[in-house]
Amino acid sequence: MGLFTTTKKFRGQNYSRLKKECLNRGEKFSDPKFPPHDSTLYYSKQPPGVITWKRPHEIVDKPQLFIEGASAKDVTQGQLGNCWFVAACATLAGVKELWHKVIPDYKDQEYGELHPGIFNFRFWRFGEWVEVVIDDLLPTIEGKLIFTHSKERGEFWCALLEKAYAKLYGSYEALEGGNLSDALVDLTSGVSAHLDLTIGGYVDDFEKRKQLFKMMTKEMSEHSLMCCAITPHSHEEAEMRTNVGLVKGHAYGVTACRKINIGDTGLFSIFKGAQKVRMVRLKNPWGEREWNGAFSDGSPEWSKVSASERQKLGLTFEDDGEFWMTFEDFLEHFTDLSICFLINTKFLSFSKTWQETTFFSSWTIGVQGHNTDRAGGCPNHKETFLRNPQYRFDVREETDDIIFQLMQRDAREHKQEGMQNLVIGFHIMKVEENRKYRVHRIHDAVATSDYIRTRSIFLREQLKQGRYVIIPTTFKPDETGDFLMRIFTSKDPDAKELVRDQPKNPWYSCFKKAVMVTTITVKCANNLEKQTAFGGEADAYCIIKCEGETVRTPVEKGTSNPNWNTTAIFYRSKPEQPIVIEIWNSNMLVDGFIGRAEVTAPINPTHTQVQLSLYGRRKEKTVEKQGQLLVQVYSDDDLTSI
């Protein structure tokens, strides 16, 4: 899926049609759905002065949307506590491919003599791209913009983008206080991860520090967006400046990660003999208040770095809010890092191609046992947990790096009504290879996300080959709301929602209904026969057969004692028929038969291990083969027992 598939017209406004109407009438656009009123600014307080709404040509003689393109240095925060959004804009500005998408047809939208005062922006909102139309009336006090503005007085892209974002959420005040991860996602459709730098062990562990820097550098090279912050310990500490010039409770954009060569400088001894120093460049969206420690603007450390190294970094010492610091200092002073991974997009080139699967659904309250009863709470609530929506997916590689993101509809647009986001998370279980129906008994977890009161939850996990079920939940039972579950895999995971509790009884008489459910786990084999005259070990796998259904285990390579630990589930209408397990050797041309075993698996609702001897096929079915097979079986006449 690309960055854009289809876009939705926010509040039904069509930019092209409205612009054409304004040009035909020779009028400037005035937006009736986000008018220049105080109520558009604030819903709980008064403006900070007498507000005059002005168009850019009333503020400067020759306004421009962009002056020499967009850059992180353009964006400066105003009298609104939305540094989380401003920092994301500053980071976005450094990636042309991205802001060209958020500000579509930017050349056609540029100011000119007959500009109709209408603009169009795009934001990603709960699984779809939304086009937001605005007029260019901006709030000013004494002729100056009061909210986000550009360092260049004649440049207006960031002020207009902020207005469109405020319209999306109902008012400018709705943007006060937020999660910088959310802004990054809204501007990119990416998947955002939050790292708590205080608990990762990065300050004391050199190897962890090295791997984090390597990951940040790699993700930045692939156009991931990053922001960081220092968490205040109290409300009074918010926006308090530390003794090194950093501001608590304030979002900074991470705009570069570099290594600089200091091997032939006086810094060699200071940094414990290191040839290179890891550095990060940060941007304060306020456009001022910079770091004043080592490698700050004009600090003596820079005089010891060669002119060529400084030139490579594009080093400047302006009071523009942008500054460099060592990675060690970064980890010592900052507490939070947000990374927005730009995955599965067509306009950028990545080392890995991802398959995206999405599910839109809701946590709902209904009659118990009905498919409307889907609000069971987190795994702490064992009696109700499995009532939640359930989704199965397959990992087709031997191991795969999987990305998960659970989102709920943002309560920000209802902020003035006192609404807040739910505490959400999800639980992932390894299930039977052929599971088609809902899970009725909690399996062991392979991963569980954090549970946080936030708009979205991120998790990245290495999972082994097999079938899994993911269960998105609220923290408490009977909490309702809409959600979006996104899963990113290397190959098509054949993901589906599990809707039915058990097989549907057939209406035609030639098929019997299921009378029992059996799970069988093929655990391992031992002492299998060598597969070549030279004593070569087997590349062994099993085929489990039951009433016309087959399940295959992964191949265990080069061993006479394979461990599969693969489980299958069967809904059986002919319990007198045994379950057959065949062991095969995987070959390039024709697979070789190793042995065959049968298990009857009568009703026994406890998990019982059985050691099976191996026999031949067809005419040799009574001939015992070398080796043994260990399986675990469970059978019950309650089809919803597992």
How much is the pLDDT for 470? 98
How much is the pLDDT for 500? 95
How much is the pLDDT for 319? 63
Residue 74 has pLDDT above 90, yes or no: no
How far is 15 from 156, CA to CA, in rounded Å? Answer: 19
> Lowest-pLDDT range, 18-32, 85-99, 484-498, 595-609?
85-99
Per-residue pLDDT tens digits for 266-298: 554 455 545 688 999 998 876 666 788 888 877
C-alpha 242: how far from its chain's center? 32
Q: How large is the average pLDDT for residues 577-591?
A: 94
How far is 406 from 315, CA to CA, in rounded Å? Answer: 40
How much is the pLDDT for 619? 81
Q: How large is the average pLDDT for residues 55-62?
A: 95
Q: How large is the average pLDDT for residues 2-11?
A: 72
Q: How large is the average pLDDT for residues 344-364?
A: 74
Q: How large is the average pLDDT for residues 600-605?
A: 92
Higher-confidence position of 336 and 132: 132
Its pTM stands at: 0.86
Residue 93 has pLDDT above 90, yes or no: no
Residue 35 φ/ψ, nearest 5 degrees: -75, 160
How much is the pLDDT for 345? 45
Q: How large is the average pLDDT for residues 596-624?
A: 92
Residue 378's pLDDT band (boundaries 50, 70, 90)?
very high
Question: In Å, what is the CA distance from 435 to each residue of 144, 266, 607?
Answer: 63, 64, 18
How much is the pLDDT for 5? 53
How much is the pLDDT for 534? 60
How far is 73 from 532, CA to CA, in rounded Å? Answer: 68
- Nearest one of 131, 148, 143, 132 to 59, comparing CA atoms: 143
Residue 89 has pLDDT above 80, yes or no: yes
Q: Please identify every residue annotated as catalytic.
A: 83, 250, 284
| Residue 227 contacts residue 254 (beta carbons within 8 Å) | yes
How much is the pLDDT for 414? 84
How much is the pLDDT for 465? 94
Per-residue pLDDT tens digits for 154-178: 999 999 999 999 999 999 999 998 8
Mean pLDDT over all residues of the chain? Answer: 89
- Nearest one of 556, 555, 560 to 537, comparing CA atoms: 560
How much is the pLDDT for 216? 93
Question: In Å, what is the CA distance from 154 to each residue of 28, 144, 194, 288, 322?
Answer: 19, 11, 36, 19, 21
Residue 446's pLDDT band (boundaries 50, 70, 90)?
very high
> Lowest-pLDDT range, 20-29, 185-194, 420-429, 489-498?
185-194
Residue 504 has pLDDT above 60, yes or no: yes
Q: Percent of the chain beyond pLDDT 90?
A: 61
Residue 249's pLDDT band (boundaries 50, 70, 90)?
confident
Per-residue pLDDT tens digits for 178-219: 888 899 899 989 998 888 899 878 888 889 999 999 999 988
**Cβ neighbours of residue 504 closer than 8 Å, sequence gap 6 or more:** none
Q: How large is the average pLDDT for residues 542-567?
A: 95
How much is the pLDDT for 509? 53
How much is the pLDDT for 269? 46
How much is the pLDDT for 3? 44
> Lowest-pLDDT range, 312-326, 359-373, 597-611?
312-326
Q: Which domains does the chain have, with CATH numbers?
A: 7-178 (no CATH), 192-341 (3.90.70.10), 355-498 (2.60.120.380), 516-636 (2.60.40.150)
